[in-house]
Structure 1
């Protein structure tokens, strides 16, 4: 995740960045879902069965702490499908783990909203454009209205809800207007995710943007981040799965705030770019552990061996290569002067397109001229 707004504020005001003291684990507790989203990396389906028991989850939680995991994003499928999801979150809280909920919002109602707010530190709800586009992209008519209602319900009851948006060809026409929605809803956070080729996202490569389209969108996101900062709107912009966005922010500082460039560069290197297998990981409903939710390779199974043994395994070649800083990536990354900032971008996209985990990210929109060392 690239916390764009946070970096702008901390750099311009010369204050410490609000970092996470610990790693983030995205845990898919179920592969059941009431929607059929076009980009779903887990190919979730309403007819799938829950394989994870509460006991198996509960026994694994202390191992997360031992491995430096301090934040867990509850994901799926749709995590609220599980009737024991609140019990799982309470077990996390006993171990001082922050709990974030990633949901489509369709199961949030007057009866459970207070429980959701008191259980989860943050609730991210997916909105992928105007009503017609969102309903088509998410595979169910009426899903947009229910998501908007859920956001307003959380806000009405004093909770913290944010909007999550996936940038694809199918949603691009609504990309600009979605900012108006975010402003009107007055949410605290707006997370824009770039498409990663995994699950149904891999089946739908045709819905990805061109490099030119992507760059145009990122430039606009940066424009809005500065606008929100200057107008003190309090909307936190975050992008995901495209660490090259940080380079465009750096270029903006070179143009408008040259005296702050060195400080921003320092902060970006501390952030470290793509953190798959370093400060972010994924645990799925089958017990498989991966460096991120989209990663094409499994590095272990927490139902068969202790999680801490998997996460700290120094004999795993993939994990060792991921944790090299900067990573040794071929192609345009090999001589890129920004490799220590973005860390090579998505290994999942590289694998799908090049059949090579250590090839350049095919979605990188930076030109060869820009990146010359």
Structure 2
């Protein structure tokens, strides 16, 4: 059975396509955890088939290419070109390591948005990721802006970096960054071993947001404000629009960020048949009604 037959969802705006698990980092909050060691990867041919399926069956208009680290995929430039040829708004989310900068010129005219992960200012970012990675990511941002890319930054809010927000906003705005997207930390993968990173104080988040200048548009998971208005994944009515769906390199599909990393997918991509298949379990996101995540602009 298809997604529409089970849930009533017809339109899915954005496909988050994890091309491979492999990464050159093993960040303290990474939701992949032990999966970082897995070798599955989505081939260029499969990626094209997946994107075509969602365009044709769910009117998908945007694809975000993820990993692991998507620039470790040998066909990343061709996959980006294939997405562009399908008229998909195409985004890549990267850790911004310097070894990947040489791949950026080949993406000019094909990539709509480059998003670089930063987890605070240098001390917090390097503690969460790896020593030297903050300034490396900043150099990648500056280089991408110089090449003419629209560049955004994504940040997971933790106990280490919540107070960094005001200074980071100004630093990024000065470097031509277009937006900053803020995520709630979820205790899956590596984060389960680093629970000290979790921040449960919504007032601390609000105070930091209120101290930010208006130089940079901010978009945030409203769970950060303890004010979520999300709808459960299993509560769709016929014809409902869904903002996002995410696919792992092994083909698991999840509709909510709150289900990512929990092996809670009710649907999988059948690589043999080239279509989505319903694979219900007693802990999948549709059966349990795991809420979707609502992203809002800073008030």
One fold, TM greater than 0.5?
yes
The aligned residue for residue 23 of structure 2 is 33
The 3-state SS of whatever aligns with 2:180 is strand
Alpha-carbon deviation of 1:41?
0.8
Matched, 1:155 2:119: no
The aligned residue for residue 124 of structure 1 is 115
Preserved contact between residue 32 and residue 47 of structure 1 (Cα < 8 Å) = yes
The aligned residue for residue 215 of structure 1 is 203
Q: Point out which structure has higher relative CO (alpha carbons under 8 A, 6+ apart).
A: 2
Matches within 5 A, 1:200-279: 200-211=190-201, 214-222=202-210, 224=212, 227-228=213-214, 233=215, 235-240=216-221, 242=223, 244=225, 273=230, 278-279=242-243
CA distance in 1, matches of 2:142, 2:31: 28
1:299 to 266, 271, 274: 266
More strand by share: 2
1:200-234, Cα deviation, whole Å (9 max, x unpaired): 123322321133xx33313442563xx52xxxx4x
When the two chains are superposed, the root-mean-square deviation of aligned CA atoms in Å is: 3.1
CA distance in 1, matches of 2:179, 2:61: 20
The 3-state SS of whatever aligns with 2:65 is strand
Preserved contact between residue 24 and residue 279 of structure 1 (Cα < 8 Å) = yes
Matched, 1:71 2:62: yes
CA distance in 2, matches of 1:44, 1:85: 23
Matches within 5 A, 1:137-156: 137-138=128-129, 140-156=130-146
Q: Where in structure 1 do 4 or more consecutive aligned residues deviate above 6 Å?
A: none
The 3-state SS of whatever aligns with 1:242 is helix
CA distance in 2, matches of 1:72, 1:275: 23
Stretch moving more, 32-41 or 67-76 = 67-76
- Structure 2 gaps of 5+ residues are 1-10, 235-241, 295-299
CA distance in 2, matches of 1:50, 1:145: 30
Across the two proteins, how many residue pairs are aligned to each other? Answer: 269
CA distance in 1, matches of 2:165, 2:60: 33
Matched, 1:43 2:26: no
Matched, 1:97 2:97: no
Matched, 1:166 2:130: no
Larger Rg: 1
The aligned residue for residue 77 of structure 2 is 86
1:315-357, Cα deviation, whole Å (9 max, x unpaired): x9843774xxxx9xxxxxxxxxxxxxxxx6669xxxxxxxxxx
CA distance in 2, matches of 1:151, 1:105: 8
More helix by share: 1
- Structure 1 gaps of 5+ residues are 1-20, 248-271, 328-343, 348-373
1:285-327, Cα deviation, whole Å (9 max, x unpaired): 111111235513121221355545559x9xx9843774xxxx9
Alpha-carbon deviation of 1:186?
3.3
The aligned residue for residue 4 of structure 2 is none
Preserved contact between residue 19 and residue 42 of structure 2 (Cα < 8 Å) = yes
CA distance in 1, matches of 2:180, 2:285: 32
1:226-245, Cα deviation, whole Å (9 max, x unpaired): x52xxxx4x22111362756
CA distance in 1, matches of 2:168, 2:104: 24
CA pair 47-243 structure 1, distance change in 2 beyond 3 A:
closer
Alpha-carbon deviation of 1:47?
5.1
1:353-373, Cα deviation, whole Å (9 max, x unpaired): xxxxxxxxxxxxxxxxxxxxx
CA distance in 1, matches of 2:126, 2:85: 38
Matched, 1:108 2:89: no
Alpha-carbon deviation of 1:273?
3.5
Alpha-carbon deviation of 1:157?
1.6
